[in-house]
Amino acid sequence: MQGSEVKSSAMPAPSATTESNVAPIDAAWASIRSGLRRDLGARTFDGWLRPAELGQFDPSCGTLDIVMPSQFMADWVTSHFGDRLGLAWKTMLPIVSNVRVIATADAPRPSPFLILDESPPPIERDPNAPNFDSRYRFETFVVGKANEVAATAAQNIATSQTLGFNPLFLHGGTGRGKTHLLHAIGHSFLAHHRGAKVVSMSAEKFMVEFIRALKENDTIGFKQRLRSADLLLIDDVQFIAGKDSTQEEFFHTMNEIITAGRRLVITSDRAPQDLDGIAPRILSRLSWGLVADINPADYELRFNIIMSKLEALPGVEMPRNVVDFLARRVTSSVRELEGALNRIGAYAMMTGRTIDVAFVEEVLANVLRANQRRISIDEIQTQVAEHYRIRKAEMTSARRAREVARPRQVAMYLSKQLTPKSLPDIGRRFGGRDHTTVIHAVKQIEKLRAADAELDADIRLLTRQLEG
């Protein structure tokens, strides 16, 4: 937001030195809230800023925390109102030089007054200590068939006292949860092993720091920091492909960690055997441990992820048919699915509209187009024929025997559900049949699905296979 918009909502700045040498933070907050409500409008303010509460103030650095009830709301407020909040506070109380929007239910509350002349010393933090995202824990990782091996292995290496495998190599495409598991391992390991040393970095950072250590003649310090770790986490190992000197150091670091009985977790977007430009001895060492892949989320996992995320979105009511629609249509990655869900919640709260399929189609038009997989009628006929063990040619034949007619009706039904083809187009692809035949097939299958659990299960399976 522009600065001129903020100033209209703020009172003149009080003097920083009063007779009691204090400044009332609550009074400033009340005035800022009033101005924001007036400038933004009641609906926007009530939807996003009314739940905000004062958090802790650190006079040593001038940082004030504003606490939101969820991480989603904290991210949204930071993105859309962060600059406005910061300027409003600087105008009201110049000692507040930085506003941080956080999400925590039990953040420490400030004193009702800011003591301006008694600043406690800042808390020193180890700059090399890992900063794991509080959102990424095992408790918030939704497990399904696509990721259950990886999730179980991650929990095991984080919590077990004795190791059955080492290292753990997690691989999968973008947005499937590798980083979530990596941070969850860090959180859980520190909770179960008090005082342990954890080092977490991307492979790219490993390379940059190693090169810097070479230039500064500090390779001993670099090696000591990494090889003394009780748990070493390396993300995106594929980025050291082709970097021979970095791979040499990486190999010796791996060996040192594993030989000493310490734990090593590595992630990549590909399986070890598919990593081009990585030294064979590194790939061999990686394969000694447990290699766990994270596959694309199937419909069931996507559905459960949406239901889980909705619990963290206060005030967002999403009917089951909309959840089903999202789980079927946003299939590229879990990350994009979560982003789509956040966007729907944000637009609904900003506009006050009810969340239904039409609203979702409007808000996610670009996302849905990008995720639309062009399933062909030919693919459907092939899949259905294989499932029911009939010849594909029967899809276009004139035979009316039940063992052929029913699969043909199923294929027509799926063609109507999964392709944009018109009824006449579908009829032509099934041996030149009339569109009324397709209509009859669709109605017949819809009726049978409600009464025949086995047929319903067949169609759900076929749908997953075709969409996957």
Q: Nearest Cα to 381, choosing from 371, 391, 373? A: 391
Q: Residue 131: in which H helix or E strand, if any? A: none
Quote the Cα angle for 139-143-146, to 5°: 150
Give the C-alpha separation, 402 to 390, whole Å.
12
> CA 261, 262, 266 angle in degrees (round to 5)?
125
Residues 160 and 369: their CA atoms lie apart, in Å, by 45
Confidence at residue 373, expressed as pLDDT on a 0 to 100 scale? 64
Give residue 227's Cα distance to chain centre. 31
Give the pLDDT score at 134: 81
- Phi, psi at residue 129, to the nearest 5°? -70, 140
Question: For residue 202, what is the DSSP state?
Answer: E
How many CA atoms within 13 Å lie on the side-chain side of 77?
A: 28
Can you read off the two tokens belonging to residue 70?
Answer: 């969820």
Give the integer Cα–Cα distance in Å for 15 and 12: 9
Supply the pLDDT for residue 386: 93
- How many other CB atoms are found less than 10 A from the CB of residue 359? 16
Taking each helix axis from N to C end, the angle separating 453-467 and 435-451, rounded to the nearest 10 degrees, works out to: 120
pLDDT at 74: 82
Nearest to 56 by CA among 3, 134, 125, 123: 123
Rounded CA separation 192/64 (Å) = 32
Domains of the chain in sequence order: 3-115 (3.30.300.180), 138-293 (3.40.50.300), 300-371 (1.10.8.60), 377-467 (1.10.1750.10)
Angle value at C-alpha 258, between 252 and 260, nearest 5 degrees: 100
The pairs formed by 355-364 with CB atoms below 8 angstroms and a separation of 24 or more are 355/316, 355/317, 355/318, 355/319, 355/322, 356/319, 356/322, 357/321, 357/322, 357/325, 360/322, 360/325, 360/326, 364/330, 364/340
pLDDT string in tens for the chain (468-residue length) = 333 333 333 333 333 333 332 346 777 788 788 888 877 777 777 777 888 888 888 877 888 889 887 777 788 888 788 888 888 887 777 778 888 888 864 444 443 334 444 444 443 445 556 778 888 899 989 999 889 999 999 999 999 888 889 999 999 888 889 999 999 999 999 998 888 999 999 998 899 999 999 998 988 999 998 989 999 999 999 888 888 889 999 999 999 999 999 999 999 988 888 888 889 999 988 888 899 999 888 889 999 999 988 887 767 789 999 999 999 888 878 888 888 888 888 788 777 788 999 999 888 887 887 776 677 898 899 999 999 999 998 999 888 888 999 999 999 999 998 887 889 999 999 988 999 999 999 999 999 988 888 998 999 899 888 876
Contacts of 32 (CB under 8 A, 6+ apart): 9, 10, 85, 88, 89, 92
Global model pTM greater than 0.95 = no
The DSSP result for 379-395, as a single string, is HHHHHHHHHHT--GGGG
DSSP H or E segment with residue 292: strand 290-293
* Strands (E) located in 104-197: 113-115, 168-171
Q: What is the pLDDT of residue 266?
A: 95
**Integer Cα distance of 337 and 302 in angstroms:** 8
User: Is the peptide bond between 314 and the residue preceding it cis, with omega within 30 degrees of 0?
Assistant: no
Residue whose entry in the numeric block shows the structure tokens 């190992």: 237
Kindly report the backbone phi and psi dihedral angles of residue 115, in degrees, each rounded to the nearest multiple of 5, phi listed first: -85, 115
pLDDT number for residue 2:
36
* Look-up of token digits 């997953």: 464
In the chain, DSSP finds a helix count (H) and a strand count (E) of: 20, 10
